Chains A and B, each alone.
Chain A
C-alpha cells in the first residue's frame, strides 16, 4: 500500500505547535516545522502585509514584496540571497490576514504538499486563536481572581486540544491499519462530533458522477429526531462552492430554527465535500466551533487523501482508457479554479485539443489502433504539462488542459508549443508510421469568459477555427470567433427575424456640451433581446449582421425608430434635441440610402439638421472617393455627418479635408489615456485642433471620470458622451434626463471658431454626472 507521508505529518505538527504556550514560540516553531516537514529552506509568516517570522535567512528577514507574490499565487519567487525558490502559500484563517509561505530550492510543490501546508496553516491558526484566548484569560486573571466559570472555560480550552489530538490519532490509526474506507470516514465524523461536545456531525461528499452532495458518514442520529438533511446538504454544497466555511440558518417557519456550519474538505487540493454540524440556532456554542471545525476539516482532508480513498474517488473521475481525468472532474476543477482565480485576482487558461484525422485512423486501422493512438496521445499531453496542471479526456478524440495562475495567453501558447514539439515524433501503429497532429484552441478567463462552460466553449470555438485552417495549429480565442461560430449555428437565421419579431429596441446615450454641461443630443444604440438567449451584445450581432446583409434591415429600423423618437421628444419637451444614428458600410454603399433617409425624415417630420449620421473612419477610408460620392446626397438633405471611432483607422488628411463632415468622434482608447500620459492628452489636443481647422466639432467617446471631463474641456474638446454623464437610457428615460439637465454648470466662456456651423446652443441645462 502506498502511504502518503504527508497524512501523518499533520498530527505531529499539531502536537508540536499546540503544545506551546507562548505565541511567538508557537509561531516560530510552526514555521520551522512546516519548513522541515516540506523539505524546504525558507519559511515566512506574514500578518497584515508584514513579515512576523522567518526561518532560513539567518537573522535577516526578507522584504515582504519578495514574498507576497506567493500569496497571490506565484509558484516561484525571488528571495535574495537564495535566488529563485518554488513557493506555496496558505492562509491561517478565513479573513486572510495571516499567511504561511514556504519556499524551497529543489522541486515544485505537489498538490499533496500544498494540501499539507493548508492543513498546517489551519492548525497554526487554531493554535494562535487558542493562545490569544488564553492570553486574554491570563490578563484577566492578573486583574482579578478568575470566576469559577472562567476557570472552567480555561480548562476546557486546554481539554479540547487534547481531544482534538486524540481524534487525529484515532483517524491516523484507522488509516495505518488499512481500515476499510468507511471506518476512516466514521472516525472522522465521530472524532469531530466528540470535539464539538457530541454535536451532530456529517461528512458530505459531492458525487463525482452526478455532482450531487450525499452524506457518507454521520456521527449520531439527530439529537432531537428532526430531519434537517436538506439544510445539511444545502450548507455543504455552499461550502464546497465557496471553498470556505459557511453558516446557514433554516427559516422554514417551524418552531425550532437550526444553524448549520460547514467547512470544506479537500481531496488532493480540490474542495470535494464538507464536514457539517447542526445546532439549534440559539445554541451559544456555534460561533466557538468555527475554528475547530475548520481545523478538523483540514485534518480530515489529509486523511481522505489517503491512497485508497483517492483511488475510490478516482474510479468515478477517471477516463479508463487514458487514465486522465474525465470531463466531470475537469469541469469540477475548472469551476474551482475559476473561483480561486477570482479570489486571488489571477487567471485560468483552458486548452481544447482535438486530434486531427482521428476518424480516418479509426476507420482504416480499427478501433484497437484508435484506442492505442488515444493512449499515446494522452501521454504526449501529459509530457507537455506541469504536475499541477490538469489534462483531461473530454470524450472521443477531444482533450483539454487546465492551467492555473496564468497571466494572458502566454502560458497556453507555451503548452501548445510543447505539445506540438512532442508530436513531432512519429507513432508506430499497426505496422505503420503515423505523424499525428492536433488542433488546439486556447482561451483564458481574462478574455471575458465568466463561467467554466463559457471558458471551455471559447477554447472549443478557437479549436474549431484552428481546425478549419487545416489542423496542426493552435489559436487563441478572440470574441470575433464567437460571432463566427454562432453565425454558422442559429443566430444568423434569428437575426433575419429580429426586427419583425419586435426583438430589437433602442437605447439612447446623451451627448453633452463639455463647456457648459448641457445635454445636446443622444446617440441611438440598438439592442437585441433574443427570445431564448436573452440580451445579445451589439459586438456579437452587428458584425454578424454586416456579414449576412441583415444590417441593411436593422439599419433602416434604427433610422426610422431613432428619428421617430427624436421627433417626438422635440415636439413635446426638448425642441433642440439631436439624434445620432450609426450607418454601416453596406448602408452607405446602397445608392438608395439617401432616398431612404429623406423618406424617413419626411415621415417623422424630423428636421434634417437634427439628424447626425455616424460613419466609422475605417469605412470611410476604405474607399474615400466612393464614400465622398455617397455622402454628398446625404449632405444635400441637410443632415449632419460624424466620423465615428476617429483615430482607429488611417485617415488621409487630404481626404479628411474633402469629407463634408461636421463632427469627429474621438475613440475611447484615446480618452482612456489622457489621465495617465502626456502623449494621451497631446493626441486629443491635436485632434481637437485638427477638427477646428477643418471646421468640425469634436465629440469625446467613453468619458468615465470627472477628471477626464475637466481635461477634455481644457483641451478644447466640444462634446462628449460616456458613463460619467449617463449610461445608455431607455427611450422612456430620455425626457426625464433632459428635463433634469436644464441649466449649464457655468456660462460659456470660451469662443469656438466652429460654433456657428452648428446652430444655436441648446437651452441651458445642468450637468448630470
Chain B
C-alpha cells in the first residue's frame, strides 16, 4: 500500500528510496557481469554495469583461468580508465544473479566515504612472507576509521599461510584481512592475477595483488565451513610442507584409503582420486575448531598424500565429512558473522570467496542453491567473488588462511 506524504507529495516507498540513494552516495558498491562471447565486450559490459555511470575508487575483476585476459581487460580499462584495479582467475565466479559460465564479474566501489590504495608483489614463490609484508604496507597510509586489506594471491605459489603471516605482521590486529587464492580450474598449472594502477593493466603469475580499503562505515568479515570431524584422530608422524608421508607411523595413503574404504591404487587415477579426496579433507585440531586441509593427490609409490597447504609434523588430524545441507548452512553462518559488525545497517555490497573444492562437492545444482541462499540472505545487495584455491579471512586472532571455507566481506 502506498501512503502519500503530505509535505513532499511522494509515496513512502519513493521517500525511502530517495533517502537510500542519498545515504549511499557517500559510498557505493556495484557489480556487473557479462558472458558475452567477445572478451573485450564482456569486460566492457560488466564494467559498465558495475559503474552505472559513477566514478570508482577501485575495480575488481574475476574470470575463468582460460580466457583472453588482454582483450577482456582492454574492455574493462575502456570503461574505467585510470581506476585502480585488482583481480584474478578463479575456478568459477560468484555474483548476484546466479551462475552463468563462463563469465566476467566486475565489482566497483567508490564515493568519498571510501579510500583505496592498491599494491602488488611479484615472484611470490621466492618469498611468500615478504610478499605479504610488501602488499600490506599500503594499509599504513589509510586514514579512515574502518579498514580492510583485500588480498588476491597465486594459489600455486606455495606456503599460503606465510602470505597471510607476512601481511598480518605489517597490518596488525586492527586491520581485518580477506580474499582468496587465484585458481585455474583444477589443472594446478597456472593462475593469473591482474593489477592496474592507472597506467594500464598487467596480467601476472606468481603474484599477489592487494587493495587496502578504508571506509567511514563498518566493514565485516564472516567465515564458515560446514564440515565436521569423523572417526578416530591420527597423528601426522612424518610430514613436510603440504606432503604427508605418514599417519600414525603408516604410509599416509594407506591410512587414508583404509579410512574411506577404497584401495590405495585409486591414487593412480589423478582425476578420480582428486574428486574422491576433495570430499574427504583432513582437519587439524585448533582452539577455534578445525583447520581444514584439502588433499589433492596421492602417490602410490611413496604412499604419501599431497595437500594444498602445509600439514605440520606432529599435528593431530581427523577425517572431515560434510553434506550438501551442511555446506549450504555455512552461507547463513558466514553472512550472519559478516553483517554483525554493521550495526544493523544493510550492507552496500559483498565480496565472496568460496573454496573450489566446495564447488566440486556441491556440483552445478548445489552451486546454484548456494548462490540462491546468499541472495535469500542478502536480498538485492550486490556481491562478487570467485571459487578459490585457498580463502583468506582474519577478523579475530592471527590466523587467516582457510580451506574448504566460505568467506564473506560486507561493507556498510
Interface residues of A (CB under 8 A from B): 3, 5-9, 11-12, 14-16, 28, 32, 35-43, 55-60, 81-82, 104-106, 113, 165, 168-169, 172-173, 176-177
Contacts and interface: CB of A to CB of B under 8 A. Distances in A.
Contacts of B235: 8, 169, 172-173, 176
A38 to B, nearest CB: 6
Nearest to A104: B397
B316 A41 contact: no
Interface string B344-383: 0000000000000000000000000000000000000000
B233 A3 contact: yes
A464 to B, nearest CB: 44
Given A5-B286, A32-B165, A60-B172, 5 more contacts: A15-B313, A59-B169, A165-B314, A169-B237, A177-B248
Given A9-B285, A16-B312, A176-B234, A41 B398 contact: yes
Nearest to B315: A12
Given A32-B165, A59-B170, A12 B397 contact: no
Contacts of B234: 176
A156 B204 CA distance: 46
B174 interface: yes
Contact of A82 (B171, B173, B397): B173
A174 B397 CA distance: 31
B2 interface: no
Interface string B303-331: 00000000011111000000000000000
A16 to B, nearest CB: 6
Nearest to B316: A8
Contacts of A36: 397-399
A81 B237 CA distance: 41
Nearest to A85: B173
Nearest to B139: A58
Nearest to B164: A36
Contact of B398 (A5, A15, A55, A82): A55
B396 interface: yes
Contacts of A28: 169
Nearest to B136: A58
B173 A38 contact: no
A41 B170 contact: no
Interface in B168-190: 168-175
Contact of A42 (B173, B233, B285, B286): B173
A39 B286 CA distance: 9
B140 interface: yes
Contacts of B168: 55-56
B97 interface: no
8 closest residue pairs by CB, A with B: A11-B314, A58-B172, A8-B316, A41-B173, A12-B312, A39-B397, A35-B398, A56-B173
Contact of A58 (B165, B171, B314): B171
A7 B315 CA distance: 10
B271 to A, nearest CB: 32
A58 B139 CA distance: 10
Contacts of A177: 232, 248
Contacts of A15: 312-314
A36 B175 CA distance: 16
Nearest to B234: A176
A120 B300 CA distance: 37
A56 B175 CA distance: 10
A6 B171 CA distance: 27
A104 B396 CA distance: 9
B249 interface: yes
Given A15-B313, A172-B316, A81 B287 contact: no
B192 to A, nearest CB: 30
Contacts of B287: 5-6, 37-39, 113
B288 interface: yes
Given A58-B172, A173-B237, A8 B398 contact: no
A40 B285 contact: no
A188 to B, nearest CB: 16
A82 B314 contact: no
Nearest to A112: B287
Nearest to A178: B232
Contacts of A169: 235, 237, 313-314
A176 B233 CA distance: 6
Nearest to B172: A58
Nearest to A166: B237
B137 to A, nearest CB: 9
A172 B170 CA distance: 35
Contacts of A3: 233, 285, 316
Contacts of A43: 398
A173 B249 contact: yes
B285 A173 contact: no
28 contacts: A3-B316, A5-B287, A8-B316, A9-B285, A11-B315, A12-B313, A15-B312, A28-B169, A37-B287, A39-B287, A39-B397, A56-B168, A56-B172, A56-B398, A58-B139, A58-B170, A58-B171, A58-B175, A59-B170, A60-B172, A81-B174, A165-B313, A172-B314, A173-B248, A173-B249, A176-B233, A176-B235, A177-B248
Contacts of B165: 32
A755 to B, nearest CB: 72
Contacts of A14: 314
Contacts of B288: 39
Contact of B172 (A6, A11, A32, A57): A57
| Residue of A42, A57, A59 with most chain B CB atoms under a 10 A cut-off | A59
B285 A39 contact: no
| Residue of A16, A36, A41, A105 with most chain B CB atoms under a 10 A cut-off | A36
Nearest to A169: B237
A106 B234 CA distance: 30
B314 A40 contact: no
Nearest to A58: B172
A82 B174 contact: yes
Interface in B386-409: 396-399
Contacts of A59: 140, 169-170
Nearest to B399: A36
Nearest to B175: A58
Interface string B229-267: 000111101000000000011000000000000000000
Nearest to B394: A41
A35 B165 CA distance: 11
Contacts of B399: 36, 39
A39 B394 CA distance: 11
Contacts of A35: 397-398
Contacts of A7: 316
Contacts of B249: 173
Contacts of B398: 32, 35-36, 40-41, 43, 55-56
Nearest to B249: A173
Nearest to A35: B398
B396 A8 contact: no
| Residue of B233, B235, B398 with most chain A CB atoms under a 10 A cut-off | B398
Contact of B397 (A40, A113, A165): A40
Contacts of B173: 41-42, 56-57, 82, 105
Contacts of A8: 235, 285, 314-316
Contacts of A57: 172-173
A19 B171 CA distance: 26
A81 B172 CA distance: 10
A26 to B, nearest CB: 14
B289 to A, nearest CB: 9
B220 to A, nearest CB: 15
A38 B288 CA distance: 9
Contacts of A165: 313-314
Nearest to B239: A15
Contacts of B397: 35-36, 39-41, 104
A24 to B, nearest CB: 13
Interface string B272-315: 00000000000001111000000000000000000000001111
A176 B165 CA distance: 29
B19 to A, nearest CB: 34
Nearest to B133: A59
